[in-house]
Amino acid sequence: MTQKLADKVALVTGGTSGIGLATAKRFVAEGAHVFITGQRQAELDAAAEALGASATAFSVYNASKAAVRSFARNGILDLKGTEIRINAISPGVVPTPAYALLGLSPQQIRSFVDVQLQTIPLGRVGTPDEIAKAVVFLASDDSSFVNGIELFVDGGMAQI
């Protein structure tokens, strides 16, 4: 293939079958980073598998993160006057046992983390407890006037 979509990012809605799946496959073949959505988990899993294991974990994850961000930003309008707050946390690189679910070996995980260390302004990965502290802050009265935000707890990665 010509790789005419190298370094491009594509979101294919309805990417579990038919035209959507064919389009997602073509995008992957041309070098794009592809994220797919679908309504049924079994079909979504099968389509992600057909696209390749890197696509499997991150396509679903990233699509769900985008939905959470949108919900936090827009849901506050639906809840106006209820004193219910909606905020989202976007953690950076935090090695957890979930990394093993990606099908990577411990060495591949270590290599991934080592590469990421080069882009994190703090020069280190986060810990689960650091993320938990940010979540507790947003749930507490200490953040009583914080509403509809996405809080990046990522060592500064999103800022560069």
Helix (H, G, I), strand (E, B) or coil at 107: helix
- Which of these is catalytic: 61, 74, 110, 158? 61
pTM comes to 0.62
| 95-111 pLDDT per residue, tens | 888 777 767 788 888 88
Percent of the chain with pLDDT over 70: 92
Residue 112: is its pLDDT beyond 50?
Answer: yes
Q: Classify residue 157 as exposed, middle or buried by CB count within 10 Å of its CB (0-12, 13-18, 19+).
A: middle
Active site residue 99: no
Quickly state the pLDDT bin for 58 (edges 50, 70, 90): low
pLDDT greater at residue 96 or residue 62 = 96
> Band of the pLDDT at 132, cuts 50, 70, 90?
very high
pLDDT in tens, 70-82: 888 999 999 999 9
